[in-house]
């Protein structure tokens, strides 16, 4: 199989008998072996399991004739449970954890014929924006190995950008699919909260988390979303709404689509190269027939502090289960309290500890009303801003990240600067809205250095992923960015 084949092309070749699922799997594993010493995109490679599953598809090809992902190799973020395959959330606390069940998204992927080849590196418990918080070392950006791939789904984005697999799953709590997709030059989609089951996703922020696809093109993202989406009785927050035919929405016609642009919000703090690529993308959309409308998101400037109050509070609650008693790392101790504290001390990294302490503080007596309750009230105002905007527009456009991929180690000493890389992405999670990042060019921060990808983000109405995919596909048809390949690993 070609190392630049899309998921659709791979599927079609397998279904037609032009290639076997085993060939597609072996090709992906070969690319992984070649890339992994440089990228460190994977925590666990499930080669034997993947080849056995691919062989089973080949033996009964007729049964998979109509499968939407027949034989397609897929990488999965290491915070999504896979039965019999180590799932660590990139944490020492779960370093040896092997789940006894599959997450719903894994069940649906495999029912559609996908072949999971491994689990990708991420920030520990999905807490971070650079994959540097992984207990197993950072992943690297295939466009420039000294740069982060973004986070927290950095390994998944790097794997797709390097064309190890045409598809990967990530999770998005405050931008963790879209931001690494932008920094690695691929497509990343965060569905509406409740659109895709969270059953089997290791929880970070339960009112914010959502699983979604990372792909080389919009059409592949639409294809896999249709597989993943839909009600799941195992997830109490799963929406009962019916699933759209997302691929049918990719008509190329966006005439009359109204796109809101919060220009005042973008006036400061955006890298000049990012601003240039973003404005050029707006020109392409306008030339396609979309109408650009200035809007205001008055409370967006509060999104970062609101997010880091709500998310840390939920993290504090969710991570209380890692006490060394039931599963995960257990450190020694002469009494229960010592065992708890020593297990958490050994199991959690600095960023996870920081967020647990922040979250515990804002939930504590005397501070709950001043911090957590106030944050939830402002969260409602952020949602209302979007609801008001959607009375006038069909989608909201902004850069996915204010700057291209930064150097590994550049922001680790200043957590606040790291948090600000999510300034344009967290609002979609706080409001529960769908959002997509699409490659829209490159930013050269310093002449002579590596070209670094830039992402265009589109945010839409609840459960209207189809419109975002339609706009993204139309943009992709008129631009070359999704066809560009990174230099690493060397080809």
HEC letters along 366-420: CCCHHHHHHHHHHHHHHHHHHHHHCCCCCEEEEECCCCCCCECCCCCCCHHHHHH
Contact 82, 106 (CB under 8 A): yes
At residue 488, the pLDDT reads 80
The catalytically annotated residue of 176, 238, 343, 437 is: 176
134, 113, 96, 218: which is closest to 483 by C-alpha? Answer: 218
Q: Is 119 a catalytic residue?
A: no
224, 259, 258, 218: which is closest to 243 by C-alpha? Answer: 224
406-436 residue pLDDT tens: 999 999 999 889 999 999 999 999 999 999 9
**pTM confidence score:** 0.97
Q: Is 411 a catalytic residue?
A: no
DSSP 446: S
Q: Where are the alpha helices (DSSP H) in 68-215?
A: 104-111, 154-161, 178-184
Residue 78 to residue 127: CA distance in whole angstroms:
13
Q: In the chain, what percentage of residues exceed pLDDT 70?
A: 98
Residue 391 to residue 347: CA distance in whole angstroms:
47
At residue 231, the pLDDT reads 97
Please name every residue paired with 85 in a beta bridge, in sequence order, or none if there are none.
Answer: 82
129-161 residue pLDDT tens: 999 999 999 999 999 999 999 999 999 999 999
At residue 1, the pLDDT reads 52
Cβ–Cβ contacts within 10 Å for residue 369, how many? 9
The catalytically annotated residue of 20, 27, 77, 190 is: 77
Contact 57, 115 (CB under 8 A): yes
At residue 447, the pLDDT reads 62
Handedness of CA 490, 136, 451, 428 (dihedral sign): positive
- DSSP H/E element including 197: none
What does the block give as tokens for 174?
């405050």
pLDDT along the chain (491 residues), means of 10: 83 96 98 97 98 97 95 98 98 97 98 98 98 98 97 98 98 98 98 98 98 98 98 97 93 98 95 96 98 98 97 97 90 87 94 97 93 97 98 98 97 91 97 98 74 97 98 98 87 51
Residue 441 to residue 394: CA distance in whole angstroms:
23
Q: Is 130 a catalytic residue?
A: no
Answer CATH for 7-260+390-483 from 3.90.1300.10, 3.40.50.1820, 3.20.20.70, 1.25.40.320: 3.90.1300.10
Residue 166 to residue 470: CA distance in whole angstroms:
20
The catalytically annotated residue of 152, 153, 197, 443 is: 152
6 φψ region: left (φ > 0), alpha (ψ -120 to 50), beta (else): beta
Residue 415 to residue 420: CA distance in whole angstroms:
9
Q: Tell me the domain boundaries of the chain.
A: 7-260+390-483
Residue 241 to residue 194: CA distance in whole angstroms:
9
DSSP one-letter string for 332-379: --SSHHHHHHHHHHHH--HHHHHHHHHHHHHHSTTTTIIIIIHHHHHH
The answer to whether the peptide bond before residue 489 is cis (omega within 30 degrees of 0) is yes
């Amino acid at each position: 199989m070609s190392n630049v084949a899309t998921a659709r092309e791979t599927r079609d070749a397998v279904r037609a008998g032009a290639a076997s699922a085993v060939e597609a799997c072996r090709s992906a594993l070969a690319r992984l072996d070649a890339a992994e010493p440089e990228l460190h995109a994977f925590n666990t490679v499930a080669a034997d399991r993947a080849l056995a599953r691919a062989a089973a598809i080949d033996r009964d090809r007729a049964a998979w004739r109509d499968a939407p992902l027949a034989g397609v190799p897929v990488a999965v973020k290491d915070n999504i449970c896979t039965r019999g395959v180590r799932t660590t959330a990139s944490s020492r606390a779960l370093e040896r954890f092997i789940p006894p069940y599959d997450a719903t998204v894994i069940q649906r992927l495999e029912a559609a014929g996908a072949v999971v080849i491994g689990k990708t590196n991420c920030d520990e418990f999905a807490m971070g924006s650079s994959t540097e918080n992984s207990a197993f070392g950072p992943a690297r950006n295939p466009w420039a190995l000294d740069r982060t791939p973004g986070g927290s789904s950095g390994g998944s984005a790097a794997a797709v950008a390097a064309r190890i697999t045409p598809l990967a799953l990530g999770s998005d709590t405050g931008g963790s699919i879209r931001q690494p997709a932008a920094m690695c030059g691929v497509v990343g989609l965060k569905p509406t909260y409740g659109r895709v089951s969270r059953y089997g996703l290791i929880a970070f922020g339960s009112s914010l988390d959502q699983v979604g696809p990372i792909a080389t093109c919009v059409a592949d993202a639409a294809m896999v979303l249709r597989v993943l989406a839909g009600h799941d009785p195992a997830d109490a927050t799963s929406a009962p709404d019916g699933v759209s035919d997302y691929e049918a929405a990719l008509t190329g016609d966006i005439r009359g689509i109204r796109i809101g642009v919060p220009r005042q919000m973008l006036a400061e703090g955006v890298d000049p190269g990012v601003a240039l690529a973003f404005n050029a993308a707006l020109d392409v959309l306008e030339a396609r027939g979309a109408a650009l409308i200035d809007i205001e998101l008055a409370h967006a400037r509060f999104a970062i502090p609101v997010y880091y109050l709500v998310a840390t509070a939920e993290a504090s609650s969710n991570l209380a289960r890692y006490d060394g008693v039931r599963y995960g790392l257990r450190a020694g101790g002469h009494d229960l309290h010592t065992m708890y504290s020593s297990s958490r001390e050994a199991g959690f990294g600095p960023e996870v500890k920081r967020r647990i302490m922040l979250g515990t503080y804002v939930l504590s007596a005397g501070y709950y009303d001043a911090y957590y309750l106030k944050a939830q009230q402002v969260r409602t105002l952020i949602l209302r801003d979007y609801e008001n905007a959607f009375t006038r527009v069909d989608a909201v456009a902004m850069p996915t990240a204010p700057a291209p991929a930064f150097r590994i180690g550049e922001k680790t000493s200043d957590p606040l600067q790291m948090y600000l890389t999510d300034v344009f992405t967290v609002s979609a999670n706080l409001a529960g809205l769908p959002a997509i990042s699409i490659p829209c060019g490159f930013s050269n921060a310093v002449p002579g250095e590596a070209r670094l990808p830039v992402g265009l983000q589109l945010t839409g109405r609840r459960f209207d992923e189809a419109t975002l995919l339609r706009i993204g596909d139309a943009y992709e048809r008129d631009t070359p960015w999704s066809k560009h390949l990174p230099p690493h690993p060397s080809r």
